[in-house]
Amino acid sequence: MVAWAIWEDRNSLINSGRSKCAELVVSGAEALLSEFQISKNATSRCPLPPSPRSSAEWFAPAPGRLKLNIAVAFRKSVGSIGVGAAIRDDKGLVLVARSNQLPGRFSHIVGVLMALREGLLLARFYNFCVDAVEVASQLVASIINNPVPSHRDSKFIVNDIKSLLLDVGCCKCQAISKSGNSLAHRLALLAFSSVQELIWLDLSHDVPLSL
């Protein structure tokens, strides 16, 4: 985790000229590790004590349900976008997560739409019935939930997404804050560290599988 945090900070310095102090780099790595450990311990016999939640945090789906979170990351110097997706149960356990790059330069809206389609394809591939899908874009959520067919250049990908939503048993897309979507966003950033697609199955083992 620390190595990844150093790599991310180095790329930030190269791409934007901004860098964090060593203490912030280490604390960021610890936060990511903590988030994964919470997921790993979600099914423990001794559940973690409840902690106060703010509206900005991720909220678990209803009992027995699953939630899909997706995010996209952009790098000006890279001719691709990073995509992150994670499916979690009502206890917060990550059942499957994905980190991959998609080649091409896209607008923010199209990038989010493509990431959303990738996340839904992941859910369908592993035959997960998803009750909720969350993205950090109110505009994208509105586009997907609008019953009127889209006439934009993105209408084909929007139609794909609506079809995939039905395939995985979900009827709408919800907007969430970037902080509440932090795990998917970190996975999207992680995509730039590997030329291969990474899949995590049951993160209690914490073992990535490259496809």
- Length in residues, the chain: 211
DSSP state of 115: H
Q: pLDDT value at position 54?
A: 40
The predicted-structure confidence for 16-65, as pLDDT tens digits, reads as follows 566 667 666 566 656 655 554 444 444 333 332 233 334 358 889 999 99
Q: How far apart are alpha carbons 152 and 150 in whole angstroms?
A: 6
Q: How far apart are alpha carbons 74 and 34 in whole angstroms?
A: 25
Q: pLDDT value at position 188?
A: 95
Q: How far apart are alpha carbons 107 and 113 in whole angstroms?
A: 10
* Residue 145 CB-density burial (10 A; 0-12 exposed, 13-18 middle, 19+ buried): middle
> CA separation (Å) from 113 to 103, 122, 149, 173, 184?
14, 14, 15, 11, 14
Give me the residue label for tokens 């993160």. 203
Who's near 59: CB < 8 A, 6+ residues apart? 53, 180
Q: pLDDT value at position 195?
A: 81
**Closest C-alpha to 38, from 180, 175, 183:** 183
**Helices (H) and strands (E) in the chain — how many of each?**
6, 7
Give me the residue label for tokens 């180095």. 10
Q: pLDDT value at position 18?
A: 66
Tokens read off for 198? 């990474």
Q: pLDDT value at position 201?
A: 83
Question: Looking at this protein, which amino acid is placed at residue 171?
Answer: C
Which parts of the chain sit beneath pLDDT 70?
1-20, 22-56, 149-153, 203-211
